[in-house]
């Protein structure tokens, strides 16, 4: 029924969810493909789950899964990949610092590419956050050589067969383009709009952007060395 599913990871975002509903409702009116929304509640401890259930009850194209406990962003994205059945999948953060309407920009190119990611061309974050992200992206790029300037941008579209073959582990959401390249896929980055956070609390601090990603780079190198990739030529 759906050509495209947008995964929305949620962790303690009750202050943002009404706006998430409104923005995604507006996007569905102009979406270039038949689209559904999948909330993945990552064990929120606030009122997020009740709000998600209310949103899904009044919107036919909205669905949800809910974790028993908080497991982190990479796990939430992986669970979304495992759950969806549409041929294309994307995700956007529930803080809405990116614009859902920009999905149409990414979808324009997904035919010839296997992953299209946004690049926050004019970031509206504070200086420390911007600089730590630039340093982390530089470190990651030197390890992966994926050519991506902003893998932390929470706006991506991936062909579902590639998404389902990504062996996710904590922190690997920053390496999605690199993992698609390991499958001999093609990746592209497109500039997208970026906005300041209007409500709620950021879930990543300085350590999450610098120390953690550096350790994840070594995990990626191990994954790259051990990664299994194959295509079936025929079967009888």
pLDDT, tens digit, for every residue of 45-70? 999 999 999 999 999 999 999 999 99
3-state class (DSSP) for residue 60: coil
Domains with residue ranges and CATH for the chain? 4-226 (3.90.550.10)
- Position 199 pLDDT exceeds 70: no
User: Which residues, at least 6 apart from 134, have a Cβ–Cβ distance to it below 8 Å?
Assistant: none
Of the candidates 163, 29, 152, 159, the residue with the CA atom closest to the CA atom of residue 101: 29
For the segment 229-235, the average pLDDT, to the nearest whole number, is 80
What pLDDT is stored for residue 226 in this prediction?
78
Interacting residues of 201 by C-beta distance below 8 A, sequence separation 6+: 12
pLDDT at position 234 is: 85
Contact in structure between 166 and 172 (CB atoms under 8 Å) = yes
Contact 127, 143 (CB under 8 A): no
Q: Please tell me the distance from the alpha carbon of residue 77 to that of residue 167, in angstroms, as a whole number.
A: 12
pLDDT at residue 14 in the model: 95
Helix orientation angle between 17-30 and 48-58, rounded to the nearest 10 degrees = 30
pLDDT, average across residues 180-203: 79
- Assess whether pLDDT exceeds 90 at residue 142: no
Q: Which of 27-36, 49-58, 185-194, 200-209 has the lowest mean pLDDT?
A: 200-209
pLDDT for res 138:
65
Residue 232 in this model has a pLDDT that exceeds 90: no
What pLDDT was estimated at residue 131?
59
Residues 6+ apart with CB under 8 A from 70: 11, 42, 43, 44, 45
The predicted pLDDT at position 52 comes to 98
Query: What per-residue confidence (pLDDT) applies to 42?
Result: 96
What global pTM score does this model have?
0.83
Q: In what order do the strands lie in the sheet with 115-120?
A: 62-66, 35-41, 4-10, 88-92, 155-159, 115-120, 187-192
Nearest residue to 44 (alpha-carbon basis) of 21, 17, 67? 67
Examine the pLDDT at 169 and tell me if it is beyond 90: no
Q: Give the pLDDT band (50/70/90) at residue 128.
A: low
The fraction of the chain above a pLDDT of 70, given in percent, is 81
- Region 193-197: what's the mean pLDDT? 70
């Amino acid at each position: 029924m759906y050509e495209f599913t947008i995964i929305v990871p949620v962790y303690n975002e009750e202050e943002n969810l009404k706006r998430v509903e409104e923005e995604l409702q507006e996007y569905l009116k102009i979406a270039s493909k038949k689209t559904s929304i999948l909330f993945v509640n990552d064990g929120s401890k606030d009122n997020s789950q009740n709000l998600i259930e209310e949103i899904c009850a009044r919107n036919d194209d909205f669905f949800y899964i809910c974790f028993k406990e908080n497991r982190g962003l990479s796990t939430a994205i992986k669970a979304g990949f495992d759950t969806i059945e549409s041929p294309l999948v994307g995700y956007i953060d529930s803080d809405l610092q990116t614009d859902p309407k920009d999905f149409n920009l990414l979808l324009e190119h997904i035919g010839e590419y296997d992953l299209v990611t946004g690049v926050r061309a004019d970031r509206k974050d504070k200086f420390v956050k911007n600089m730590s992200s630039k340093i982390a992206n530089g470190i990651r790029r030197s390890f992966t050589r994926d050519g991506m300037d902003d893998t932390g941008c929470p706006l991506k579209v991936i062909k579902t067969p590639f998404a389902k073959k990504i062996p996710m582990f904590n922190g690997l959401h920053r390496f999605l383009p690199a993992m698609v390249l390991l499958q001999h896929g093609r990746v592209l980055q497109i500039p997208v709009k970026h906005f300041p956070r209007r409500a709620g609390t950021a879930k990543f601090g300085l350590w999450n952007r610098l120390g953690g990603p550096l350790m994840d780079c070594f995990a990626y190198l191990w994954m790259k060395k051990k990664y299994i990739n194959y295509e079936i030529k025929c079967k009888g």
